[in-house]
Amino acid sequence: MARESHARRRVCSAGSGKIATVSAETNQQLETRGSRRAARTGHRILEIDGLRGIALTLVVIFHLFGQGRVSGGVDVFLTVSGFLLIMSLGRSLANMKPLGIVARWGRTFSRLAPPATLVLVAVTIASLVVLSPLNREQNLLEVISTAFYFENWQLVATQLAYGAAGPETSPLQHFWSLSVQAQFFIGFPLLVGLLTLVTKSRRARVTLFWSLLGAATLASFIYAWNANAVNPQEAYFDTFARFWELGAGGLIAGLLMNNRALPAVLRPITGWLGLSMIISSGFIFSGGTAYPGPAALLPVGGAVLVLLSANGGWLSPTPLLRSRPLVFLDSISYGLYLWHWPILIVFFTVKERDVLGWRGACFVMGLAFVIALVTRWILTPAIVWATSKKPRHALIFALIAIIVAGAPAGAALGIQATKSANVVVDPCAGAASLDPERPECAGFGKGAEPRPSLDKLRQDMPRIDECWNAEASTEVNVCTVGDVGTASKYLLVVGDSHNDAWIESYKKTAEDLGWAMDISSRAGCQWISPDAPRRGTKVEAQNACIEWRNAMNELAHSSKYDAILTTASTKTTFEPVPDGMTYENFHAGLIEEAWSHRSSEDVPIIALRDTPFFPESAIECLQNASMLVGGVCSEDRTKATQRPTGVYQAIEATPNAHLIDLNDYICEEYRCNLVVGGVVTTWDGNHQTSTFNLTLTPYLERELVTLLE
C-alpha cells in the first residue's frame, strides 16, 4: 500500500508546461515524506529529479540564446512523465488495486493548475496593458485554451510556427506541452479503466495493458515520422505525434518493474552516454522542425538510457543527478518555466526589439527565478492543503483554479466583442485620398490614428460562411448577393482568399447597381486548370481544390451569367514548370484553361488585379506613430505589386477578357503605404482589409459599369 501511494504521488509531480514537471515535490514536508517512503520501498529513481533539472537548463538556455533552435529538453520530460504515470498504473493493474482515477486527477491538477493560474492572469493583464493590441484577441483566446489544456490544438489552428521569441510571438506558446501532458493524464487512465472493465483476469489485464501500450507507442512513432515529413510545424504540437515519447517512458517503466535494468557494470557507460545524448540533441538537431520525428530518438533515447542506468555507482552520472543543485532546480522548474517565456515576450515588447543580448537574458532569467520562488512560497500551503484532503476536494480546488485562470480573459473577450468591427470612415478616407479627381481629399488622415484600431485590425476580414470554402473542406459553398429575379446583371465571382477580402465590397456593389452575384472563394485555391499543383499544398487540400475548380467550371459553363469576375493571390505559385517555358506563360496556360469553360465568348472575363504585398513584419510599424508619420511603413511599389503572373498574358490571349487595376488608389507613384487616407490597407501584409476595400468600391463599380453597361 505504501508503494502504491508513493507511486501515485510521484506521477502527479510529473506534469508541466513545456517542462513536463510541477517539481520534485511542492514543499519540503512532502519531499521528506516521499523520500522516506521511497527509501522503504526502493522503487524511486532519485536520478529523475536531476535529469529534469538538466533538461530544464537546456530548455531555458536555448530559449534565451538559441535564436530559434529547440533543445530536446521537452522530449526528455515527456518521456519521464510517461514513465512515472504508466509505472503507477502498471503497478495498480499488477496488484489488482483500484486505479483511483479521480484521486489521480485531483492530485495532478491541484499542483498544475494554481501556478498556471497566476501566469495566465498576468498574461491577461499584460495583453490588455503592455502587449501589442494587434495580438490582443489571439492572446486572450490562448489564455482560455491554455487554462483548459488545449493550447497545442489552438496553436495548430491559428499559428503553428514555433521558434525564436519576439514581440509578435505568443506569450503562451510554451504551454503546448502542458496541454499534451494534461490530455495524456486525463485520457490514458480512462483507457486503462476501460481495460479493467473488459477483462477481470490479472494476467490478462497486465498482458493486454503492456501489449496495447507497445502497439500504440509504435503506431504513434510511425505517425509522427510521417507527420513530421509532411507538416513538421503541425506535427510539433500534435498530441498523437507526441504520444510515442510518453509511451517510450512507459515501456521503460515496464522493464524496470520486471527487474530489466542494464547490468551494473554497464551503467556508468550507458548513463554518461544517455546524458551526452540529451545535452547534445539541441546542438545536433533543430527540434522545432525535426521533432517529434525520428530525430527525437536522440533525446528520448538518452532519457531511456539514464533511466535504465539508475543507481549506477559513483562512476556513473548518479552522484551528479542526485546533487542538491539539480534537485533544487527541479523543485522550482515548473514555476521557472511557466514564467520565463511571458517575461521574455514582455521584455521584447517593452524594448521594441527581437534580439536578446546576454544582459537581457540574465535579466529575464533572474526575474523569472525570483517570481518562481515567490509563486512557490505563495501557493505551497494551498496545494498542500488540497492534496491532503479527499480526492474530490483536490479536484474541486483544481477546477476552481482553472476557472479563475480563464475567467478574466473570457470577460475581456466579451467586452472586446461588444466593440463593433465595422468602421465608418469619412468620404475622403482611404482610396479617395489618392483620387486625382478629388483634390480636396489629398493628404486626408495624416497624423490621425489609423482605422480600424489595432485591436480590431485582424478582425477586419468579414467572412460569409456560405461564400467561403476552407482549404481542405470537401464542400463547395456558393452564396448569392442581390436579387437574381430583379437584377439587371448577374455575375459569377470566384477566387481564393484575396477574392474573399472583397466580399463586403461585392455586397455593396450589388446593392448600389441592382445586380446579383454568385460568389465562391476557396483558401489557397485559384480558379485555374483543375489539376494545377499548388506548391506546398497537402494532398487532401489539393484534391478538394480540384473538386472546387471543377464545380466553378460547371457554373462558368452555364448560360445564366452576364460576366465572370475573378481575382487571386499572385503569391501562390504552381509547379513543375515545363522545360523551356517561362513561369508567366505556364501560369497563363493554366488560367486560359479555366476561362475556356465559360458558356460563350460573349460572356466577359474580368480579372481584378491583385493588391500589394507587404512583409508581415511591416504590420509592427502600425504600433509606432512616428514611423507612420515618417513614411517608414511602406514598400517599394514595384516590389509590392509586380510579382510573376500569367494574368496579363491570359487576358491578351483570351477574347473579351479584361483587367481592372485599382492599385493607383492604393499606392503612390513609387511607394505603397500601409495606411492610406487614414485607413489601414492590409491586416497581415497579404490580405486587404475589408474597410479599405470598401473605400475602393466606388472605383470598382465605375470600372464594372464601364465594361458591362
Across 207-233, average pLDDT: 93
Q: What is the pLDDT of residue 386?
A: 87
Q: What is the mean pLDDT of the chain?
A: 85
pLDDT at 233 over 70: yes
Q: What is the pLDDT of residue 700?
A: 96
The model's pLDDT over 459-498, given as tens digits with 9 standing for 90+, comes to 788 778 899 998 878 889 999 999 999 999 999 999 999 9
Residue 244 — pLDDT band, cuts 50, 70, 90?
very high
Length of the chain: 709
142, 154 contact by CB (below 8 A): yes
d(CA 290, CA 279): 16
Q: Which residue has the higher pLDDT, 10 or 451?
A: 451
Closest by CA position to 387, among listed 1, 20, 23, 17: 23
Phi, psi of 451 (to 5 degrees): -125, 145
pLDDT at 413 over 50: yes
Annotation: CATH topology of 462-610+645-661: Rossmann fold (3.40.50)
Q: What is the pLDDT of residue 576?
A: 80
User: Which residue in the block uniquely carries the three cell numbers 530559449?
Assistant: 63
Q: What is the pLDDT of residue 419?
A: 61
The model's pLDDT over 80-102, given as tens digits with 9 standing for 90+, comes to 999 999 999 999 998 888 888 99
The model's pLDDT over 143-166, given as tens digits with 9 standing for 90+, comes to 999 999 999 999 988 766 565 566
d(CA 470, CA 577): 27
Q: What is the pLDDT of residue 2?
A: 36
Residue 423 — pLDDT band, cuts 50, 70, 90?
low
Q: What is the pLDDT of residue 160?
A: 62
The model's pLDDT over 313-348, given as tens digits with 9 standing for 90+, comes to 889 899 999 988 888 888 888 888 999 999 999 998
Let me know the angle formed at the C-alpha of 253 by 26 and 12, rounded to the nearest 5 degrees. 20
Residue 695 — pLDDT band, cuts 50, 70, 90?
very high
The model's pLDDT over 379-388, given as tens digits with 9 standing for 90+, comes to 999 988 888 8
Domain-wise residue ranges, the chain = 2-411, 425-457+615-641+664-689, 462-610+645-661
**CA-to-CA separations, 9 to 49, 67, 204, 388, in angstroms, rounded:** 14, 37, 27, 11
pLDDT at 350 over 80: yes
The model's pLDDT over 495-536, given as tens digits with 9 standing for 90+, comes to 999 999 999 999 999 999 999 999 999 998 999 998 887 666
Across 437-451, average pLDDT: 84
pLDDT at 1 over 90: no
Q: What is the pLDDT of residue 43?
A: 53
21, 78 contact by CB (below 8 A): no
Q: Which residue has the higher pLDDT, 622 or 183?
A: 183
pLDDT at 174 over 60: yes
Q: Which of 406-415, 437-446, 457-466 has the lowest mean pLDDT?
A: 457-466
Q: What is the pLDDT of residue 665?
A: 93
Closest by CA position to 429, among listed 672, 679, 691, 631: 679
SS3 per residue for 87-130: HHHHHHHHCCCCCCHHHHHHHHHHHHHHHHHHHHHHHHHHHHHC
Is the N-terminal amide bond of 268 cis, ω within 30° of 0? no
